[in-house]
């Protein structure tokens, strides 16, 4: 099996002589497949140029010890498409096996990790790739959680015939995600008018509005919370959703939309002048991001079986932000790394009690001062890139 893997790896490495450098993503050949040729080629020029200047600006002012233009990594690290497919299948198998072999604690941590990874990658789309700043991601999660919980607890029992949860659970989660996406649309509309600080304020206000609205709706329990959600979230399900999320995200950021939002990050006015339809790109991004946050919320609700408005407060948003900026902005692999490191760190710091809540923001501040790009900022493992 390992030999087979190795063979495949060598084979694909031979095929792809390209390195994993950051600017590869913006290569024009790569772009030809999507959208109108001239537009995208122009975007690619402008964005790759200013991308470098962006990282340079960050490093020079902060005097980071190492430069972003490190020598490109070589083919030995590359994972080919087929290998990553095997890895995904292997992970899928182990997600069935792990709950049997390991303790509940480990399974629980792995489920949390996967949910965190979904949240992190969906926020990374707005904060990392689009360069906007959203603080209100916990609100989408809350909407997804409440939406799917309402369907499970209140609506499903009304249906006369019984359905197996294997069929209904994904539908409920998707319904929660769709609800969150629907709520994401007005926020996207607001983001057309404002940028930067003011958008951050709007998302913050949005989070507060959702939270206090939930506190005032007695149908979902008000401030007491929503009880009696069945524990449907299992490791294989979460794994499935995480894989789906990462797969869709990978394709999204390499699509026309993804390139558009990267161009928006670099310079919105220039992007608009080059013919990028910034509005539809922003709308698409907000909708997709909030959809996956809603999915994570639905999974979360069915994992811990109890949700209340105060579990979706600003601290949760901050935790997602920590994951994004720890793992690395504008990087799918970074989101995975960030979620992993964060979840494990959160467990290790358990003995600190309340002081643990101090360490996470502290980590965020230190990250901002010393390494604002995060561990994998603007870099990508090859398995998260599309084949050229």
Our finding on whether 318 is near another protein (CB under 8 A) is yes
- Mark 190-209 with x for binding to another protein (rule: CB under 8 A) and - for no binding: x--xx-xxx-xxx-xxx-xx
User: Rounded to 5 degrees, what angle do the CA atoms 191, 138, 382 make?
Assistant: 80
SS3 226: strand
Q: How many residues does the chain have?
A: 388
How much is the CA Rg of the chain, to the nearest whole Å? Answer: 21
**What is the phi/psi pair of residue 70, to 5°?**
-75, 160
In the complex, least distance from residue 301 CB atom to another protein, rounded to whole angstroms: 22
Q: Which long-range contacts (CB under 8 A, 24 or more apart) does 361-369 make?
A: 361/318, 361/322, 363/322, 363/326, 364/318, 364/321, 364/322, 364/325, 367/322, 367/325, 367/326, 368/325, 369/62
Our finding on whether 374 is near another protein (CB under 8 A) is no
In the complex, least distance from residue 193 CB atom to another protein, rounded to whole angstroms: 5
In the complex, least distance from residue 8 CB atom to another protein, rounded to whole angstroms: 40
DSSP element (H, E) containing 356: helix 356-370
SS3 48: helix
Our finding on whether 131 is near another protein (CB under 8 A) is yes
In the complex, least distance from residue 116 CB atom to another protein, rounded to whole angstroms: 18
> Which whole-number Å values give the CA distances from 273 to 32, 126, 183, 380, in the listed order?
20, 21, 29, 29
Number of residues that bind another protein (CB under 8 A): 47
In the set 13, 28, 372, 375, which binds another protein (CB under 8 A)?
Answer: 372
Our finding on whether 160 is near another protein (CB under 8 A) is no
In the set 15, 87, 213, 227, which binds another protein (CB under 8 A)?
Answer: 213
SS (H, E, C) 71-110: CCCCHHHCCCHHHHHHHHHHHHHHHHHHHHHCCHHHHHHH
**Of the candidates 162, 180, 63, the residue with the CA atom closest to the CA atom of residue 122:** 180
C-beta of 174 vs 314, nearer to another protein: 314
C-beta of 86 vs 133, nearer to another protein: 133
- Mark 77-96 with x for binding to another protein (rule: CB under 8 A) and - for no binding: --------------------
Our finding on whether 217 is near another protein (CB under 8 A) is no
Return the sign of the alpha-carbon dihedral for residues 6, 12, 17, 22: negative
In the set 215, 236, 243, 347, which binds another protein (CB under 8 A)?
Answer: 215
Our finding on whether 64 is near another protein (CB under 8 A) is no
C-beta of 170 vs 372, nearer to another protein: 372
Our finding on whether 53 is near another protein (CB under 8 A) is no
C-beta of 93 vs 209, nearer to another protein: 209
Binding site for another protein (CB under 8 A): 57-58, 61-62, 127, 131, 133, 135, 190, 193-194, 196-198, 200-202, 204-206, 208-209, 211-213, 215-216, 269-270, 314-315, 318, 321, 325, 353-355, 357-358, 360-362, 364-365, 368-369, 372
């Amino acid at each position: 099996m390992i030999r087979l893997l190795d063979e495949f790896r060598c084979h694909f490495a031979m095929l792809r002589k390209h390195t994993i450098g950051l600017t590869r993503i913006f290569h024009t050949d790569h772009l030809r497949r999507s959208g109108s040729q001239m537009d995208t080629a122009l975007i690619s020029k402008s964005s790759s140029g200013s991308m470098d200047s962006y990282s340079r600006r960050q490093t020079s002012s902060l005097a980071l010890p190492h430069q972003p233009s490190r020598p490109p990594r070589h083919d030995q690290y590359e994972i080919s498409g087929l290998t990553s497919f095997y890895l995904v299948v292997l992970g899928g198998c182990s997600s069935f096996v792990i709950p049997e072999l390991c303790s509940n604690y480990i399974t629980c941590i792995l489920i949390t990790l996967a949910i965190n990874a979904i949240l992190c990658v969906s926020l990374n789309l707005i904060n990392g790739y689009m360069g906007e700043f959203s603080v209100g991601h916990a609100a989408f999660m809350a909407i997804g959680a409440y939406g799917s919980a309402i369907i499970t607890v209140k609506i499903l029992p009304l249906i006369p015939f019984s359905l197996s949860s294997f069929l209904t659970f994904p539908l409920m989660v998707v319904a929660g995600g769709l609800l969150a996406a629907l709520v994401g649309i007005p926020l996207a509309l607001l983001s057309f008018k404002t940028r930067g600080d003011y958008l951050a304020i709007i998302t913050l206000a949005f989070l507060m509005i959702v939270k206090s609205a939930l506190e005032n709706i007695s149908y979902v329990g008000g401030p007491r919370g929503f009880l009696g959600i069945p524990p449907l979230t299992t490791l294989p399900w979460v794994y499935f959703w995480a894989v789906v999320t990462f797969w869709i995200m990978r394709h999204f950021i390499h699509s026309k939309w993804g390139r558009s939002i990267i161009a928006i990050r670099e310079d919105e006015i220039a992007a608009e002048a080059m013919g990028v339809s910034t509005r539809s790109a922003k709308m698409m991004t907000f909708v997709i991001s909030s959809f996956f946050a809603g999915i994570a919320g639905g999974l979360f609700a069915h994992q811990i079986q109890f949700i209340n408005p105060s579990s979706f407060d600003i601290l949760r948003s901050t935790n997602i932000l920590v994951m994004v900026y720890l793992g690395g902005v504008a990087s799918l692999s970074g989101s995975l790394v960030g979620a992993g490191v964060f979840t494990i760190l959160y467990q290790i710091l358990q003995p600190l009690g309340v002081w643990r809540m101090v360490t996470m923001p502290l980590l965020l501040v230190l990250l901002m001062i010393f390494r604002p790009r995060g561990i994998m900022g603007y870099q990508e493992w090859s398995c998260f890139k599309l084949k050229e």
